[in-house]
Amino acid sequence: MKKFFKSHPEATLIILALVFTGAIIGSFAWGVGDVITVANDALKFTPSQARPGFDLDAASKLDLRGLTP
C-alpha cells in the first residue's frame, strides 16, 4: 500500500479531494433539506387555525375594572 501511495501521489490526492468534496456537498444538501423541512412544518397550518373564533359575548361580560392603575 505504501508503494502505491509513493508511486501515485497525484491520483491519491485527487481521489481524496473528490471524496471530501462529495462529503461536503452531501452534508450541505442534507442540512439545507432539513432546514427546509423544518421551516415547512413550522409554516403549515390547518384550516381551523385560519379563522380563530372569538367569543365576543363572553368577552363583553368580563369585569375588567381595576386592572389598570
Alpha-carbon torsion 12, 17, 23, 26, what sign? negative
Is 36 contained in some domain?
Answer: yes
Is 4 contained in some domain?
Answer: yes
The pLDDT, as a whole number, for residue 48 is: 60
Is 51 contained in some domain?
Answer: no
Is 52 contained in some domain?
Answer: no
Is 64 contained in some domain?
Answer: no
Is 62 contained in some domain?
Answer: no
Is 17 contained in some domain?
Answer: yes
- Confirm if 5 and 12 have CB atoms less than 8 A apart: yes
Share of the chain above pLDDT 70, in %: 88
Is 67 contained in some domain?
Answer: no
Q: pLDDT digits over 15-38, tens only?
A: 999 999 999 999 999 999 999 999
- Confirm if 33 and 40 have CB atoms less than 8 A apart: no
Q: Which domain holds residue 2?
A: 1-41
The total number of structural domains that make up the chain: 1
At residue 37, φ and ψ (nearest 5 deg) are -65, -45
The cell for 19 is: 471524496
pLDDT range class, residue 10, cuts 50, 70, 90: very high
Between 43 and 33, name the one with better pLDDT. Answer: 33
How many C-beta atoms lie closer than 10 Å to residue 12's C-beta? 13
